[in-house]
Structures are given as structure tokens and as C-alpha cells.
């Protein structure tokens, strides 16, 4: 069997999201046949995405029918010059945003990053909320960043995640009072001077709103996509719509909508109560033709995990943790769709 035969066999493997086979979509970078071993490079861009893992499993099954052992690698080809990229070692940058405060955006960002890390991915978590950084508390990160002789910053790690936050650089009670140009300069420094290394995902916890920080991020970093967090109530949805329009104006992919605090299950009676309304996030996603990434319950355990420094997504055998894990997997799948579509459309 030669390369042409292998590619012909791979036409039986369909990408369920893009609706065609992996060869026709241009997702097979290279094939090398060495006896009974086939080395295949695939244009898959979302490590540990369940959907992309399934594509890899299907490829192995198809070729196993011919007695072949498969060695898979994944790389999304790019025309960009690595020397000109801002973060060449980072495969995907995901911004977590909201139109207003108080909807649990940081909770979603922290649990997304921790959930991706738990899946096995190499993850960085950048707390880009200059004025109200709280990620270090939410992961109980007590170790401060270290500086190298070259004046670069080595980020501390927790739960397998590399961390960077303004909270590491100012006192607990020190207010941050800076204007736009200063914010842009600081964000640029925190991104470019940090030794992020090789990451599958860098999760950005953006401040609420559509101000200077968001604009600086959009101008500085090549975002793979953005996740918009809202609660079901109309007031939050109105502001979420502003965030959606902001990303649209800057041609940034919106991966989908997360509805936080969607329902509350009473621990005493077991009944469910829609404290902030019901279904608003799902309806908002549908009306804007966006994926609905998950509904996260209003659960005191989420707050306890944030205050105690252990994201709830890390808990086992927990219904709320399962909801965060589903959200994490859905977001990873959407990242994969964005990356694979970019290859197929070239």
C-alpha cells in the first residue's frame, strides 16, 4: 500500500462538522508509509477536543482494516512568518468576555482553563482584567512570577496551568488607575515578555464591557475565537449583544454563548428555580446563529470553589462539575471547527 492508497482509504472518514471527508477538505497534510506503519499529519488544531479525537479514532479504525498501524500527528499549516507572530508557541487563544460585570465571566474562564488542563492540554490563563484581577485567588496561586536575567517573566503554575495576572504585580489593596495608552502598554508587556512556552490553549479572562482593554487585546493578539458569557436575564443579554457586536467589528470568531447561573436546584426540596429567568442565553445564541456552549447552574459550590481556590470543574462525580466539563468540551470542539474550516477554505 502506498500514499495514494492510504489517501483513498481516508476518504471514508468524514468530518461531521464540515460535512465532507478529511481528504477533500484538505485536512491530510502528509502521509508516509513504512511497511505496516503509516505516519499521518493531520490539520487538526484543537488538542483534546472530543470531536477531533473521534476523527483520529476513526482514521485508525479505517486503516486497521488493512492491517496498518497508524502514527498520527497534528498541525495546522500557516502562511505566517513565525518570527513575526506575537505568540508563536501558542496554538489557540480564547477570549472569555461579557458585556457586563457580575455574570460569572472569570468563573467561566478559570474553569475553562482548568477543564482543558484536566483533559491533558497545555494551558495558560491570562487574567487581562487590569482593574479587577481575581484569578490568582480563584486558583489559590500564592507563588509570584519570577524574572530571568533577560528581564522576561516566568509565570507560576497551578493545576497544570501557567498563570499571569495584574494581581501578581500590585498590592492586594492597591487601586489601579490607568488610562488607555498605559493599559495597552502593560498588556503588551504582560503578553510578549512572559515565557508562555508551548501551549495548546491560552485562555484570556477579559474585563467586562467593551473598553480599552478589549480593544488592545483585539489589536495585539491573534484570537482563535471568543466566548461570550451571559445570564438568562434580559439586562445581561442586552450587554452581551454589545460584546458580540464588538467582536464582529474586528472580524473575530465568536465560538458561542455560555449561559451562567441558568437554574438553581434547592438542596432541601430538590426543586429547580430559575432565579434569573430561563433560556435567555440559548435563545440569544439561536437568534444570532451561534452555538450554545452550555448552561451552568447557580450552585453555591461554584462560589466555594472560587473563594477556596479549587475550580469546580476539577471535582469528580458532581453534576455542576459535569456541566462545566460539557462546556469545556464544546468550546474545544468549536476551536477545532474554526481551525479546520480555515484550512479547508484555503
The answer to whether 118 touches 329, Cβ cutoff 8 Å, is no
User: Is 104 one of the annotated binding-site residues?
Assistant: yes
pLDDT tens-place values along the chain, 346 residues long:
899 999 999 999 999 999 999 999 999 999 999 999 999 999 999 999 999 999 999 999 999 999 999 999 999 988 776 666 788 899 999 999 987 778 889 999 999 999 999 999 999 999 887 766 788 899 999 888 888 888 888 999 999 999 998 778 765 555 554 455 566 677 777 777 889 999 999 999 988 766 667 777 888 888 999 999 988 877 777 778 877 888 887 788 999 999 998 887 777 777 777 776 677 888 989 999 999 999 999 998 999 999 999 999 999 999 999 999 999 999 999 999 999 999 999 8
User: Is 211 one of the annotated binding-site residues?
Assistant: no
**CA distance linking residue 215 with residue 204, whole number of Å:** 13
The answer to whether 110 touches 119, Cβ cutoff 8 Å, is no
Within 102-233, residue ranges assigned H as helices are 105-119, 135-138, 180-192, 212-220
301: burial class by Cβ within 10 Å (0-12, 13-18, 19+)?
middle
List, in sequence order, every residue forming a beta bridge with 292; answer none if it has no partner. Answer: 257
What 3-state DSSP class applies to 101?
Answer: coil
User: Is 56 one of the annotated binding-site residues?
Assistant: no
Question: Which domains does the chain possess?
Answer: 3-74 (3.30.300.130), 82-314 (3.40.50.300)
HSE-up (13 A, CA, CB side) for residue 156: 17
User: Is 105 one of the annotated binding-site residues?
Assistant: yes
User: Is 19 one of the annotated binding-site residues?
Assistant: no
What 3-state DSSP class applies to 294?
Answer: strand
Please state, as a whole number, how many other Cβ atoms lie within 10 Å of the Cβ of residue 32: 12
User: Is 235 one of the annotated binding-site residues?
Assistant: no
User: Is 75 one of the annotated binding-site residues?
Assistant: no
Residue 153 backbone class (left: φ over 0; alpha: ψ -120 to 50; beta: rest): beta
Residue among 219, 194, 208, 227 at smallest CA distance from 134: 208
User: Is 336 one of the annotated binding-site residues?
Assistant: no
Q: What's this model's pTM, rounded to 2 decimal places?
A: 0.91
Amino acid at each position: 500500500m502506498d500514499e495514494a492508497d492510504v489517501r483513498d482509504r481516508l476518504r471514508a472518514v468524514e468530518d461531521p462538522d464540515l460535512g465532507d471527508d478529511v481528504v477533500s477538505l484538505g485536512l491530510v497534510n502528509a502521509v508516509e508509509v513504512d511497511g505496516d506503519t503509516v505516519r499521518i499529519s493531520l490539520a487538526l488544531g484543537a488538542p483534546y477536543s472530543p470531536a477531533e479525537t473521534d476523527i483520529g479514532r476513526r482514521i485508525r479504525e479505517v486503516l486497521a482494516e488493512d492491517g496498518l498501524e497508524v502514527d498520527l500527528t497534528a498541525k495546522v499549516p500557516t502562511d505566517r512568518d513565525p518570527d513575526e507572530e506575537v505568540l508563536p508557541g501558542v496554538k489557540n487563544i480564547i477570549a472569555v468576555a461579557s458585556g457586563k460585570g457580575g455574570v460569572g465571566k472569570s468563573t467561566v474562564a478559570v474553569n475553562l482553563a482548568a477543564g482543558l488542563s484536566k483533559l491533558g492540554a497545555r494551558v495558560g490563563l491570562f487574567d487581562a482584567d487590569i482593574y479587577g484581577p481575581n484569578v490568582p485567588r480563584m486558583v489559590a496561586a500564592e507563588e509570584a512570577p519570577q524574572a530571568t536575567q533577560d528581564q522576561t517573566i516566568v509565570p507560576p503554575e497551578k493545576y497544570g496551568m501557567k498563570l499571569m495576572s495584574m494581581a501578581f504585580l500590585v498590592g492586594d489593596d492597591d487601586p489601579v488607575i490607568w488610562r488607555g495608552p498605559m493599559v495597552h502598554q502593560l498588556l503588551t508587556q504582560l503578553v510578549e515578555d512572559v515565557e508562555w512556552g508551548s501551549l495548546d490553549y491560552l485562555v484570556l479572562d477579559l474585563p467586562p464591557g467593551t473598553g480599552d482593554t478589549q480593544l488592545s487585546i483585539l489589536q495585539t493578539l491573534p484570537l482563535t475565537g471568543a466566548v461570550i458569557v451571559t445570564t438568562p436575564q434580559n439586562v445581561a443579554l442586552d450587554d452581551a449583544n454589545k460584546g458580540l457586536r464588538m467582536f464582529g467589528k474586528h472580524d473575530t470568531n465568536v465560538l458561542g454563548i455560555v449561559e451562567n447561573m441558568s437554574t438553581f436546584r434547592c438542596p432541601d426540596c430538590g426543586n429547580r428555580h430559575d432565579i434569573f429567568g430561563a433560556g435567555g442565553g440559548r435563545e440569544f445564541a439561536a437568534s444570532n446563529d451561534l452555538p450554545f456552549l452550555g448552561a451552568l447552574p447557580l450552585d453555591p459550590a461554584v462560589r466555594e470553589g472560587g473563594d477556596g481556590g479549587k475550580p469546580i470543574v476539577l471535582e469528580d462525580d458532581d453534576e455542576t462539575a459535569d456541566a462545566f466539563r460539557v462546556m469545556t468540551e464544546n468550546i474545544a470542539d468549536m476551536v477545532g471547527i474554526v481551525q479546520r474550516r480555515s484550512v479547508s477554505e484555503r
